[in-house]
């Protein structure tokens, strides 16, 4: 299973998140950006994915400083 995230301001660009097939991120996830000139993929270990999730939650739940 994978999820496709929406992008703002960039046509024909998709961001997909799915399970990692790579040994260096076994059990983790990959985030793939399909850009105009080809894909760009990041592999995240389980801990890196958790850190990313925690940072997203922190950013969503912390009031802006202004």
Give the pLDDT of residue 16. 84
Question: Domain span at residue 49?
Answer: 3-61
Does residue 47 have a pLDDT over 90? Answer: yes
Q: Is residue 66 part of a domain?
A: no
Of residues 8 and 21, more confidence is placed in: 21
Q: Is residue 10 part of a domain?
A: yes
Q: Are 12 and 25 in contact (CB under 8 A)?
A: no
Whether the per-residue pLDDT at 48 is higher than 80: the answer is yes
Give the residue with greater pLDDT, 36 vs 53: 53
Enter the pTM of the model: 0.66
Q: Is 16 or 5 the better-scoring residue by pLDDT?
A: 16
Q: What is the number of domains present in the chain?
A: 1
Question: Measured on CA atoms in the order 1, 24, 12, 36, is the torsion positive or negative?
Answer: negative
What is the average pLDDT across 7-24?
81
């Amino acid at each position: 299973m994978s999820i496709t995230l929406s992008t703002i301001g960039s046509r024909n660009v998709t961001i997909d998140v799915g399970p990692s097939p790579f040994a260096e991120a076994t059990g983790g996830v990959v985030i793939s950006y399909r850009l105009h000139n080809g894909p760009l993929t990041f592999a995240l270990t389980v801990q890196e994915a958790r850190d990313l999730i925690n940072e997203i939650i922190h950013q969503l739940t912390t009031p802006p400083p202004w």
